[in-house]
Amino acid sequence: MGIDAVLKLIERLRGENGCPWDRKQTPKTLAVYLVEEIFELFDAIESENPDEVCEELGDVLFHILFIASLYRDMGHFDLNNVTAVNTEKMIRRHPHVFGNDKVDSADEVRSRWHKIKMQEKNHSAKVSILDSVPRKLPALMRAYRMSERAAKTGFDWDDIAGVMQKVEEEWAELKSALTGEGQAGGRPERVLLEFGDILFTLVNVARFAQIHPETALAASIKKFEKRFKHMEKTVLKNRKDIESLSPKEMEKLWEEAKSAIG
């Protein structure tokens, strides 16, 4: 079974004797579900389980084909138009493969990609270089993309040491806000902004270190989750309730979990 089978399935679901829920959907309602499915795919890839990745890829593909079918039914475009536009764009953005341009590194490819992208019709009318960053991206991902775009103009630190120094400065400002020192100290809005500044600066540390902050945070969350569940399992074996433990007992269990899981 291939793409045609999925398209026929969607037609059946939206047909006269199909599913009331599917017939009710619009591109906007499906977009929300598509975002959820993409994050489920992200989780599957992180789990390194090929079977889960296969299933979640199918869910993402289904929603993409569903949305394309809706626009086809509205008379705007069909799946052939989608693939044709994308193929043309990919060829245009890879002149080092389909043309005579030469590149020496992946970084050079990324730089040229961005320049070509900004010259295209749908990007050339944008007022700011930052306008190409989708507004609906999660904040951590959007911060990474925005700092990356700004850096392409030369607005950047010279090296990672400069960014780390900025982290220290932002940390001091957050401590001042939390302790109520200095002008406007202790105000919730200042604490919020100072905390945000630290996160944004740390995103730039990740960029200089050539790691993605979203991936790094996901790995740390996964590690915390495993360790905490190990604690819960140990407590359950001893027929206790984790909420009833003292801080010292919890710390002991946490150290055991770290040793057992890493």
Average pLDDT, the chain: 91
Of the candidates 220, 228, 238, the residue with the CA atom closest to the CA atom of residue 260: 228
Can you give the pLDDT at residue 125? 60
Listed by start position, the domains of the chain span 3-92, 126-211, 215-261
> Residue 6 carries which side chain, given as an amino acid letter?
V
What is residue 110's predicted lDDT score, i.e. its pLDDT? 84
80 in the Ramachandran plot: left (φ > 0), alpha (ψ -120 to 50) or beta?
alpha
Question: In the prediction, which pLDDT does 126 show?
Answer: 64
pLDDT value for 124: 59
Six token digits for residue 214: 């979203």
Q: Given 1.10.287.1080, 3.90.1530.10, 1.10.3720.10, 2.60.40.790, which CATH number is that of 126-211?
A: 1.10.287.1080
Pick the closest to residue 206 from 219, 195, 193, 215 (CA basis): 215
Q: What is the CATH number of domain 3-92?
A: 1.10.287.1080
Give the Å distances, CA to CA, from 194 to 53, 137, 182, 200, 216. Answer: 38, 21, 13, 10, 22
pLDDT of residue 46: 85
Domains 3-92 and 126-211 share a fold: yes
Tokens (6 digits) for 85: 């536009």
How many other CB atoms are found less than 10 A from the CB of residue 123?
14
Instruction: With a cut of 50, list the residues of the chain below it in pLDDT.
Output: none
